[in-house]
Structure 1
Amino acid sequence: MQFSFRMPVAVQILLCLAKFDGVFKLTSNFLASSVNVNPVIIRKTLGQLKAAGLVEVAAGVGGAKLLRTPGEITLREVFQAVEEDEDLFHIQDNPNPQCPVGRNIQQVLGKRLALVKDNMLADFAQMTLADLLADIDSAEQEHNK
Structure 2
Amino acid sequence: MNSRFTMAAHIVAMLAKCSAKAEGPLTSEVMARSIQTNPVVVRRLLGDLARSGLIETKRGARGGVTLARGPETITLRDIYESVEEGELFGRHPVGPAPDCTIGPCVAEYLEGVFGRAEAALKKSLEGTTVAQMSEELEARFRALNPSLEQSG
User: Structures share a fold, TM > 0.5?
Assistant: yes
Normalised to the residue count of structure 2, the TM-score between the two structures is 0.87
Aligned residue number for residue 3 of structure 2: 5
Give the TM-score normalised by the residue count of structure 1: 0.91
Report how far residue 24 of structure 1 moved: 5.6
CA RMSD of aligned residues (A): 1.4
Inter-partner Cα distance in structure 1 for 2:58 and 2:36:
22
Unaligned runs of 5+ in 2: 147-152
Q: Which runs of no fewer than 5 residues in structure 1 stay unpaired?
A: none
Counterparts of 1:53-64 in structure 2, within 5 Å, are 53-61=53-61, 62-64=63-65
Paired AA for residue 96 in structure 2:
P
* Superposition pairs of residues 45-124 of structure 1, within 5 angstroms: 45-61=45-61, 62-85=63-86, 87-92=87-92, 93-124=94-125
Could you tell me which amino acid in structure 1 is paired with residue 17 of structure 2? Answer: K
Q: What is the CA–CA distance in structure 2 between the aligned matches of 1:15 and 1:133, rounded to whole Å?
A: 6
More helix by share: 2
Aligned residues: 142
CA spacing shift, 1:68–1:25, aligned 2, 3 Å: closer
Bigger Rg, which one: 2
Q: Counterparts of 1:17-32 in structure 2 under 5 Å?
A: 17-21=15-19, 22-23=22-23, 25-32=25-32
- How far apart, CA to CA, are the structure 1 residues paired with 2:103 and 2:113? 16
Q: Which amino acid aligns with 1:29?
A: E
Q: Provide, for residues 104-129 of structure 1, a one-character-per-residue CA deviation record: whole Å limited to 9, x for no partner.
A: 22211011101110111111111111
- % identical aligned pairs: 31
